[in-house]
Amino acid sequence: MLEILGHSGPARLGVWHYADKKIPTPNFLLNAAPATTGIKHDAYIAPRWVRTSRAPLVVHYGTLVGGAKIRRQGILPGAGFGLDIPRELAELGVERTLALAERYPEQGAVVEGGRYPDLRELAARRLASRSLLAIASGAKLCRRPRLLVEVLTRVREVTSPNTALYLPGAPPALFPVLAYMGVDLFDASHAIRDALTGRYLTPLLQSRPLDRMRELPCTCPVCTSGGVDALRSSSGHLVRHNIWVLRSLCAQMREAIRSGGFAELLEMLADASPAANAVLRILYREKHPFLEKYTRTLP
């Protein structure tokens, strides 16, 4: 369950109580994969077929299949058929996902509904008291700014304040604006994939080809210990750097919420990202009631 410690607008500072651990939020779940072996973090996530001793671990059970056994704590399978699907299929996905969730009330669940915000809202209402909810097709939603804003604001409004909202597959440049809509947890999949393809995550959350860089704009231990040549010599070094940037970003977001300066951080980082800027402008133009609900006004 998520304990809320403070707000800066809709952005939430909290502590997520999971598997006897207290995990500060906003935060990211580190994907338990060969590329991240040896990297310590607050919490991890992995598909059900991955065997790992890393803890605390969120098991993502993936797509609903016959005979799936729910043994460990995590996120129940979703029965969705994707994002751009006919409404009849989206309704069927919601129905099947909710039917499974009713059998496991203590587990996290997936908010299905395809590209239909009303179905997402319906699913979220039925799952409103869960300790953890994942937004289905998160990566694809991040490429559709208006739909992303509509889905997230609706889901956040109808779920419990103590429900941690997880959006998988988001690019790091969107973390701040997603947090501003009430998302508490992300993952490192985008940053890991970038590193494995030779892309360097800058402090302003821009992904750049490492082979075109002559200097490193970061002072993390990975960058300062070896420079460009060391990062080029091993994808593992680049993975560690990109994870370090995510960790630093989440710490910045938490501190900005504590100090009431999250809006300033958000604007600064959104200026460096056309995608984040597009989401933020839509949010400002079209979601005044949502924003005003969490904005303090002087008497």
Q: Which residues pair with residue 15 across a beta bridge? A: 3, 24
pLDDT recorded at residue 68: 66
CA neighbor of 55 nearest in space, from 18, 110, 1: 18
Q: Where are the domains of the chain?
A: 2-291
First-to-last alpha carbon distance for the chain, in angstroms, is 33
* The pair of three-digit structure tokens given for residue 123, joined into one six-digit string: 């699913």
| Strand (E) or helix (H) holding 11 | strand 11-18
Angle between helices 145-158 and 117-126 (to 10 degrees): 30
Query: Which residues touch 103 (CB under 8 Å, ≥6 apart)?
Result: none
* The pair of three-digit structure tokens given for residue 266, joined into one six-digit string: 């958000």
pLDDT recorded at residue 242: 98
Spatial separation of the C-alpha atoms in residues 172 and 191, rounded to whole Å: 7
Q: What is the largest CA-CA distance in the chain?
A: 59
Which strands form 2-8's sheet, in the order they lie side by side? 2-8, 11-18, 21-25
pLDDT recorded at residue 298: 41
Q: Annotate 94-145 with DSSP letters as a single string.
A: HHHHHHHHHH-TTSBEEE--TT-HHHHHHHHHHTTT-SEEEETTHHHHTT-H
Estimate to the nearest angstrom the gap between the alpha carbon of 48 and the chain centroid: 19
State the burial class of residue 90 (Cβ atoms within 10 Å of its Cβ: 0-12, 13-18, 19+).
buried
Q: Using DSSP, state whether 223 is helix, strand or coil.
A: helix
pLDDT recorded at residue 295: 73
Q: Which residues pair with residue 46 across a beta bridge? A: 59
Q: What is the pLDDT along the chain (299 residues), one digit of tens a residue?
A: 999 999 998 999 999 999 999 999 999 999 999 999 999 999 999 998 899 999 999 999 988 765 568 888 999 999 989 999 999 999 999 999 999 999 999 999 999 999 999 999 999 999 999 999 999 999 999 999 999 999 999 999 999 999 999 999 999 999 999 999 999 999 999 999 999 999 999 999 999 999 999 999 999 999 998 889 889 988 999 999 999 999 999 999 999 999 999 999 999 999 999 999 999 999 999 999 999 888 764 44
Q: Annotate 26-84 with DSSP letters as a single string.
A: SEEEEE-SGGGTT---S-EEEETT-----SSEEEE--B--TT----SSEEPPB----SS
Q: Is residue 166 within 8 Å of 132, Cβ to Cβ?
A: yes
pLDDT digits (tens, 9 = 90+) for 133-170: 999 999 999 999 999 999 999 999 999 999 999 999 99
Is the alpha carbon torsion for 124, 128, 134, 138 positive or negative?
positive
Spatial separation of the C-alpha atoms in residues 146 and 169, rounded to whole Å: 18
What is the CATH architecture of 2-291? Alpha-Beta Barrel (3.20)
pLDDT recorded at residue 296: 62
Angle between helices 274-286 and 145-158 (to 10 degrees): 50
